Structure formats: structure tokens, C-alpha cells
Amino acid sequence: MNSDSSVKLTQFSRFAGCGAKLGPGLLDKALCGLKQPSYPNLISDFSHAEDCGVFRLTDEIALVQTIDFFPPVCDDPWTFGRIAAANALSDVYAMGATPVTAVSVVCFPEEVLDISYLRKIMEGALDALAEAGAALVGGHTVRDHEVKFGLCVNGTIHPDRVLNNNRWNEGDVLILCKPLGVGIINTAARAQIASVEEERVALQSMMQLNRTAAEVLSQFSVSACTDVTGFGLLGHVCEMATGNDFGACLDVNAIPLLPQVEAYADMGLIPAGAYANIEFRSKFIQNFSELSDAMQHVLFSPETSGGLLAAVPENEGPLAIAALAERGVSASIIGNIRTGYISVHI
């Protein structure tokens, strides 16, 4: 059993963070055609790619539920725990809801890793939960040869205020509340190429809760919202367009990136999940072939604990950006909603 503080958590996993998710093509095959009985109070379930399930409890309260867990994105256990919790909480914020309770999900290689590492992971998660005002009420553990950690988070919201991810309107603008690139920086860090400062900036971005962004956006007429995680920016934009009459046109030059992300992508330092995302969804993106290979992978690269992606009326866009900046959230308008398909332009 190893209690050496020099042990690297990332050596216990083949993947990192949301890059460990099954590809969208496999998920589509697994879930397609699944049916369950009709429940009158069920507002959202697995039949559409929403961030959470939602169930009406009363006329005033709906229960919002999600689960998210993954292998380490870094070697420091406290930081990993904080990031995993922030990522799980993000789904609830994306629905416009308030997190209330959480249950931990743990896979742990007890034969080779000292239990003190799990304690530090839990301490990091509790730090994020305390900031969110959500109570940890329990958990479940299993032995595994890889470390994995995350949370099932429960939240509440008024049934009429649930934010769906595919209800945007023509003329809306899209706001992204965190820069892209943490998956690529993680890959470069594992290859010992990213600088200490570049890795620090990426970790700080992942540790940041989307709570403030959600609070600010609640003051505006948000028509659709999601968070950018394992399917990459364009993958989640595709989900937002599903079942909708309108597509989105993204301005690639307006999309914020962490430093050196495009350069590392050009070097081939790309999470494996990006390739599956491109294979399954790039065919839905007009002008995609006009992008450089590096930018194609950046826009489909898995993000861990990424930012909220919200659609608001065009006249509210600049006001929302200013309000977010006032609260310390760096956000950008990256595109607009219009009739037609999803497209990108440079």
C-alpha cells in the first residue's frame, strides 16, 4: 500500500476527467428505443440529452437529479475532489436549479493507494459542496484498479422555471462562461509538456463553480442552457439543436481559449474522446472542414467542469456579459441562433 506523497493519481487511470465518457455514438445505440412507463410528473428523463432528470413533487417544487464521476484530472487528491464536485454540481446549475444534497460515488484501489488519498479527495469535494450550500448525505464505495470519484447531486426548482437545453429561439445569442481547453491542457500536462502555470490556470478553471454564472444568468431571459463537458463545445451545441427548428452559427474567433491550447492541439496532444466526438457529430456542422485540424479538435475536445452555455435574446447579450464580468465571470458571446443548420465561420 502506497502512502508516498509523490504518487501520481493520474497513473491509476487511462483517461482523465470527462474524457473517460463513452462516446456519443455508443450512448445513442445503448439508449435508442428504451422505454419506461409514463409518469405524469416526470418533466425530464433520459429520452433527451438533458443535463439532469426532473420530477415534479408539488406544484411549487421539482426534484432535479444528476450523477457525474470520472478518473483523476490531476495528481493532487484535494484538487481532484474539488473539480469532480464542481463538475457534478454544474449539471444542476445548467437546469437553473439550486443544489441541495449530494451522495458520493467512489472507486478506489485500496491495495496500492493509501486511504489518506480518499480522505483528501473527500475534503476537496466538501469544499466545493460547502460553497454551493449543498449537504453531503452519504455515498457508496467499490474496490477498483482505477481511482474514480464523483457525486450524485439533488437540487430543487419551480417546475415552471426549468431550463431545457434545446429551447433556444431565433435571434438569440450564445454566451459561453468559461474558456475552452482544459482537456487539451490536461493531456499536455500528462505528457509533461504543459508549463506549471498553464496547468494551474486549467485546474483553477475546473475548480470554479458555475454557481455565480447561474445566479447572474437567472436575471435574464435564458431560453436554453447547458454546460460544456465531455462532448466538447460543438457536441453540446448539437444537443441544443436537437428537436429544434433553429441552428446556431458560431464565430470561431470569438470563442475563448486557454493559453497554448491551439498549439498543443496542433502537436497532437488531444484527448481520445475528441476523436469519437468528431466522428459522430462533425457531419452536422456546416463549414467544419474549413477549420484547421487543430481547431476542429479544440471545438470537439472533452471539457471537464466547463462553463455554462446559454442562449439569451440578442438585446440582452451585452448586458449579461457586463453583469457576469461584474461578478468575476469571464464570458463571451460566441454565436447566434438562426434558421438552418449548425455552422462555424472564421
User: What pairing do the DSSP bridges indicate for beta strands 246-251 and 332-339?
Assistant: antiparallel
Which residue of the set 18, 74, 225, 238 is catalytic? 18
Q: Which amino acid is at 96?
A: G
User: What pairing do the DSSP bridges indicate for beta strands 308-313 and 224-227?
Assistant: antiparallel
**Number of residues that this document lists for the chain:** 346
Name the β-bridge partners of 343: 249, 286
Cα gap 82→79, rounded to integer Å: 5
Catalytic residue flag (residue 18): yes
- Burial degree of 284 (CB within 10 A; 0-12, 13-18, 19+): middle
Determine contact, residues 185/202, Cβ cutoff 8 Å. Answer: yes
CA-only gyration radius of the chain, Å: 19
- What is the arrangement of strands in the sheet containing 332-339, beginning at the earlier edge strand? 224-227, 308-313, 172-176, 332-339, 246-251, 342-345, 285-286
CA nearest neighbour of 93 among 315, 316, 306, 247? 306
DSSP string, 299-324: HHS--SS--EEEEEEGGGHHHHHHHH
CA nearest neighbour of 105 among 51, 63, 69, 156? 69
Active site residues: 18
